[in-house]
Amino acid sequence: MGIYLSSPKTEKSSEDGENSRLRYGMSSMQGWRATMEDAHATVADLDASTSFFGVYDGHGGKVVAKFCAKFLHQQVLKQETYSTGDIGTSLQKSFFRMDEMMRGQRGWRELAVLGDKINKFTGMVEGLIWSKTCKGSDRPDNWAFEEGPHSNFSGPTSGSTACVTMIRGSHVVVANAGDSRCVLSRKGKAYDLSRDHKPELEMERERIMKAGGFIHAGRVNGSLNLSRAIGDMEFKQNKDLPAEKQIVTANPDINSVELSDDDEFIVLACDGIWDCMSSQQLVDFIHEQLNKESKLSVVCEKVLDSCLAPSTSGGEGCDNMTMIMVQFKKPFVQSETPSIEKSSTPEDPDKDLKAVESEQANC
């Protein structure tokens, strides 16, 4: 079987949820791809005042995307900086933490279970066996010291994008590594809250070259068509460089914005959507659907159907597709605003939120 099926799988996995601050809908679809490699996390109540949403687009396999969907939001809560209100730094550390956790015996075991390479019963047995030889295994987050036959496992060669948003009161923080995207709709205009990380970007190219990599045909080392991702350990082997300066890095751009009553919703989606619609086209399409449909997961489903290509001849519209839509309830519940110490995205929407002007051809 090649990378495409003879006919698309259009069955969708969808969900809706809400709390006092927001409501959300999501949907995902395998489409023409031979396997489904997307994953997502929707946690309306990460704690009493904070929500978390994330999309993860895997490549080379599904395991890293599923690993992030399971663990990344949990790690945010465990960061010391989170208790001080610094959500941005907590997110950045959690992105790097994913790479750390996927190494060694326990990382191998978790990835094996998520990838269905060993069944859950076998995974449970191995977990019991190695926990007896693991010093400090009573500390559930102490992954590095678990011993076993795969203790030298350097991590997966597959990888995943990660685009997540955390919402606390009127404050939104977005962290992104890769080419999934987060977009805000403000009075019907689309504002990108993340930047697609492609190898041809000057900042990305400079890091890749300095780390000993190269770009060929728009791909890192002629292989990977994005320049930041979680996993992809083969591109992170330079022991003389910190994690943020490797050929491919998990280091996310961090962006923050204060919501106003003009803000309607946020969309997080994998590039299977953005290959077919520009940010503004998607916002326009959603507004049209909201005039007919109130259930947000159904709106997401209609987006997926609209993007699905009639055949695989063109390439666009043939990818896995995952989309989360978060609609704000108003007036906003004000809470203590977390400090954001770093923002590496060139256009900081917290200071100068500029509408998306460039249009891409619809698929």
pLDDT digits (tens, 9 = 90+) for 84-135: 999 999 999 999 999 999 999 999 999 999 986 544 433 333 443 443 334 4
Cβ contacts of residue 275 below 8 Å, gap of 6+?
Answer: 307, 316, 317, 319, 363
C-alpha 330/C-alpha 52 separation (Å) is: 18
Give the Cα separation of 135 and 229 in Å (integer): 31
pLDDT at 36 (0 to 100): 96
Query: How far is Cα 197 from Cα 228, in angstroms, rounded to an integer?
Result: 6
User: Alpha-carbon distance 130 to 332, whole Å?
Assistant: 48
CB 74 within 8 Å of CB 194:
no
| pLDDT confidence bin for 3, thresholds 50/70/90 | confident
What is the per-residue pLDDT for 143?
78
Q: What is the pLDDT of residue 147?
A: 83
Question: pTM score, two decimals?
Answer: 0.88
Amino acid at 61: G
Q: Distance between CA atoms of 121 and 125, rounded to whole angstroms?
A: 6
d(CA 249, CA 70): 20
Residue 222 Ramachandran class (φ > 0 left, ψ -120 to 50 alpha, else beta): left
Amino acid at position 345, single letter: T
- The amino acid that residue 73 corresponds to is H
Mean of the per-residue pLDDT values of the chain: 86
8 Å CB contact between 58 and 64: yes
**Fold held by 4-103+154-342:** Phosphatase 2c; domain 1 (3.60.40)
Long-range contacts, 288-295 (Cβ 8 Å, 24+):
295/16, 295/25
User: What are 74-94's pLDDT values in tens digits?
Assistant: 999 999 999 999 999 999 999
- pLDDT one-digit tens code per residue, 271-326: 999 999 999 999 999 999 999 989 999 999 999 999 999 999 887 999 999 999 99
Q: Can you give the pLDDT at residue 163?
A: 98
* Torsional sign, CA 235, 238, 239, 245: negative
* Beta strands in the chain, from DSSP E residues, in sequence order: 4-18, 22-33, 38-47, 50-59, 159-160, 162-168, 171-177, 181-186, 189-192, 215-216, 219-220, 230-231, 253-258, 263-269, 321-328
* pLDDT value of position 2: 57
- For the segment 240-261, the average pLDDT, to the nearest whole number, is 96
Amino acid present at 130: W
Answer for the pair 264, 328: CB distance below 8 angstroms, yes or no. yes
Q: What is the pLDDT of residues 326-357, one digit of tens each?
A: 999 976 544 444 333 344 433 444 444 544 43
At residue 195, what is the residue type? R
What is the pLDDT, as a whole number, of residue 330? 75
Helix (H) or strand (E) holding 102: none
